[in-house]
Amino acid sequence: MEGVWRRIGCVPAGWLKRVSCRVGPLSRLLRLGIHNVQRLPTGTILAVAGGRIYRSTDGGRSFEATHRFRLGRKPAYVGFTVLSTGQVCYGEYVPQVERTHPIAIYRSDDDGRTFAEVHRFEAGQVRHVHFIQQDPYEPGVWVGTGDLGEECRILRSIDGCETFETVGRGSQAWRAVSLMFRRDAVYWGTDAGRDADREVNRIYRWDRKGGRLEPIQEVQGPVHGSTQLSDETMLISTGVEGGVNERDDRAHLWASRNGREWHEIGSWKKDIWPFRVQYGVIHFAHGQQTGTVLHLNLRGLKGHGRSCLIATIEE
């Protein structure tokens, strides 16, 4: 791995958590560590760890807890987002098998100092929020929820997640963990996991002009992430959850230059640890993606229990 890594700061944690974080399988089982970091336009840094949001105004040298999550220990990876306005939004993410809790979206309008609920899904409407993403081409924010039947929704908001219009809902085709935006279309891969029986996972294209949803490519398992490079190359990663709809025990990496033709460019086998400890996943780092260099975080994969990789993409 090339480049020099330096520590910019530490989020407060007790000695037991600090020790546990150094034990890979234990850290993954207990979901310890820093789960998300976002830099605001003001330079403020927000970090998600230990069921809280921490805030730093000195470049990461010190952090102060400003918000505690009502449900769960962290939002989904793409469910904690800085909007183009500088506002920060997150959606609640919790397993809740019984669907007994309402699920809310929170927003900060004051540089991460405070967060307030701006939208609520009543109990039973959705299981949790998968993503909140700013559309780079048109006004608005896109939100995805899951996981079964009518819980699967892709929504769009023009008022900072206070109200929504429905783009689509009601099947696994609308169950996604993130989106990829182009001027003419929006792309995503489906996250039909081990609870989706034999549902085949696919990459979809939603046409902006006509609103038509089109399946493009079947993939081996649930799509756990996606990203775009500066030259608009799109990438998705599948995970390993142990579902009957998975074709093998490997996490796969797919890429496309034009959105129509997709090619597998890599795969990694699930490690020996149980799924309860960690699914086999490939996450894409926020930002830092250029036209040829890709930053990956691998978890629960053979030889890569907790790894950061830098890959070069060639024709």
**How do residues 175-208 score in pLDDT, each as one tens digit?**
999 999 999 999 999 999 999 999 999 999 999 9
Task: Give residue 115's domain range.
Answer: 15-270
Residue 294 has pLDDT above 90, yes or no: no
pLDDT tens per residue, range 4-50: 778 888 888 776 667 667 667 767 666 778 899 999 999 999 999 99
- Return the CATH number at 215: 2.130.10.10
Residues 68, 169: Cα–Cα separation, whole Å:
30
> What pLDDT score was predicted for residue 43?
97
In-domain check, residue 182: yes
The total number of residues shown for the chain amounts to 315
Helix (H), strand (E) at residue 80: strand 80-82
Neighbours of 231 (CB within 10 A): 11
- pLDDT band of residue 239 (cuts 50, 70, 90) is very high
DSSP for 166-232? Answer: EEEESSGGG-BS--EE-SSEEEEEB---TTSTTPPPEEEEEETTT--EEEEEE-SS-EEEEEE-TT-
Q: In the chain, which ranges are continuous DSSP H helix?
A: 15-20, 24-29
User: What's the rounded mean pLDDT across residues 245-253?
Assistant: 97
In-domain check, residue 223: yes
> What pLDDT score was predicted for residue 154?
98
In-domain check, residue 312: no
Residues 233, 22: Cα–Cα separation, whole Å:
35
In-domain check, residue 314: no
Residue matched to tokens 């909140």: 132
> What pLDDT score was predicted for residue 310?
84
> What pLDDT score was predicted for residue 313?
74
In-domain check, residue 288: no
In-domain check, residue 315: no
- Sequence-ordered list of residues with C-beta below 8 angstroms from that of 22, at least 6 positions apart, any chain: none
Write down the pTM of the prediction: 0.93
> What pLDDT score was predicted for residue 1?
43
In-domain check, residue 35: yes
> What pLDDT score was predicted for residue 232?
87
> What pLDDT score was predicted for residue 14?
73
> What pLDDT score was predicted for residue 16?
66
Q: What are the C-alpha distances in Å from 120 to residues 48, 106, 123, 300?
A: 21, 9, 9, 33
In-domain check, residue 222: yes
> What is the percent of the chain with per-residue pLDDT over 90, rounded to a whole number?
79
Domains held by the chain: number: 1
Asked if the bond preceding 147 is cis, omega within 30° of 0, the reply is yes
